Amino acid sequence: MRILFITLLVLGALRSSAQELYVFTEPASNMPAHSLSVKQTAKVLHDASGSAINQRQTTELMFGLTKDWMVHASTTFSNMYSPSFQWESARLYAKYRFLTHDDLYSHFRMAAFAEASYSRNVLHYDELSLEGDHKGVQAGVIATQLLHKLAISSSVSLVENFQEGRDEKSVYSPQSYEGLNYSLSAGYLLFPRNYTNYKQVNVNLYAELLGQKSLDLNRSFLDVAPAVQLIFNSQAKLNAGYRFQVNGNMNRMSNNSWLLSFEWLWLNALKRK
Amino acid sequence: MCTLVFLVVNIFCAVRRSLPHFLWLNNNSMKKIFFLIALLWGIQGFSQVQQVNLTASGLTCSMCSKAIYKALTALSFVKQVQPDIERSSYAITFKENAQPDFDAIANAVTGAGFSVAKLQATINFSGEQVQNDTHLKVNNETFHFLHVSERKLNGATTVTLVDKNFVTAKEFKKYSQYTTMKCYPTGVMESCCTKKDGKAGERIYHVTI
């Protein structure tokens, strides 16, 4: 754990500009005001039995309303809780940046976020996630620090599962309904070494720690999620990541998963002419 | 320019006097014409800002830099933006007869999610006398010079804006020690400012050389 953290620090400090367009988490910074972004994400995993391959497709619309406010709306299809591929959830997310300390070679920013998700799925696992697994809400804070060439972001949030029958004793109980999520992320620019124009392909490497601690049961997990990101024409992002558990005792659908996403950004798309 | 406007107005008045009374323009039309002349004069004056060089802070990627670039190019008075992605700086030139608005430039940068760390404007002066901690009206814009020695400004001179939203918090603090006038923290004409410089609440840009 300590070695990992030091590796993250060294990795970030070693080279070039730090990157905060994290693949698994959101930074405290927002997308530009009046911009619109569309993101398609595929999450692939082996189910608990390890035999079948399950997949979730998420389509997400992101709006930069003002410099401080951004909103996401997303919907998902998957075969994770059903024998065939079907629509399963919708989610709304809002983030407000409330603190900005920008300096020439550093910045510190903080943001608060809240989200709510509707899902037709009934969760039988301990791992809480508003990505489509259950109905619920989540709220938290994010802090992002850029110090010269190192950018580190951290978040803490509370998540609650509101699915039907959570108070009834069921064959699956006990399971977790309240949790604390936390994350620590770092990223760095591998290429280009020197920026000359907006058309250069950017290659970014990321390493993120993603953890959850149940608040109603003595269970938790900690994942490590490395990822690579390609940015084309300063407009499109292609992300590929792998997330695996390094420590934990939660009953989860899977301890590891793959993620592939593509995002397209339109600047000034929402600006009134 | 002044001479030109003076001439136009004189000719206008002469023509008006020589016309029969029924051909005289009514007062409203007169006002409109004078307003147009005043407007043209004003615009001509603003074209004295030749170029702005801006450095943005708080960004880490080319995607962020492009967001600023796009926000700047979307401004109606901007002709061209030449970005230096590595340095997060932008050289901005303006459309002919357009009025560069420094606040709109800063708002474009903050709207993109970042801050202005430095904004330098190259202004074509014509023999204006500059004194430390005093105001200078350059056409329609009031500049308050900080931390400068007494001098005469002639030709293209680069001034650095040191108002809030145009410098880092550290720089703002540094320049605060060079004046006790209230207009620096607020950026507008205050009771400390002399009446001849303009009305209370009028925008003042604080600059240094």
From first to last of the 273 residues of chain A, give the pLDDT tens digit: 555 554 444 444 443 445 778 999 999 988 888 889 999 999 999 876 767 889 999 999 999 998 899 999 999 999 998 889 999 999 999 999 999 888 776 789 999 999 999 999 988 899 999 999 999 999 999 999 887 666 799 999 999 999 887 777 665 567 889 999 999 999 888 888 778 888 889 888 999 999 999 998 899 999 999 999 999 988 899 999 999 999 999 999 999 999 999 999 998 888 765
> Who's near B35: CB < 8 A, 6+ residues apart?
none
Cβ count within 10 A of residue A64: 26
Residue of A nearest to B165 (CA): A102
Record: contact A194-B86, CB cut-off 8 A: yes
Per the DSSP assignment, residues forming a β-bridge with A259 are A43, A241
- The minimal CB distance from B66 to the residues A30, A107, A267 is found for A267
Record: contact A104-B63, CB cut-off 8 A: no
Largest CA distance in chain B: 70
Residue A272 domain-assigned (yes or no): no
Cβ count within 10 A of residue B203: 15
- Name residue A40's amino acid: Q
Domain encompassing residue A219: 2-266
Residue of B nearest to A70 (CA): B113
Residue of A nearest to B110 (CA): A67
Backbone angles phi, psi at B130, to 5 degrees: -115, 135
User: Residue A268: which of B98, B68, B62, B54 has the closest Cα?
Assistant: B68
Antiparallel, parallel or unpaired: β A36-46 and B89-94: unpaired
A101 contacts in chain B (CB < 8 Å): 169
The ipTM assigned to this model is: 0.75
Residue B206 in contact with residue B188, Cβ under 8 Å? no
Residue A120 domain-assigned (yes or no): yes
Residue A44 domain-assigned (yes or no): yes
Residue A273 domain-assigned (yes or no): no
Per the DSSP assignment, residues forming a β-bridge with B89 are B55, B84
User: 3-class DSSP state for residue B172?
Assistant: helix
Residue A107 domain-assigned (yes or no): yes
Structural domain count, chain A? 1
Domain residue extents for chain B: 2-45, 48-208
Report the top-level CATH class of B48-208.
alpha beta
Residue A243 in contact with residue A256, Cβ under 8 Å? yes
| CA pair distance A138, A120, nearest whole angstrom | 18
| Domain CATH for A230 | 2.40.160.40
Record: contact B113-A19, CB cut-off 8 A: no
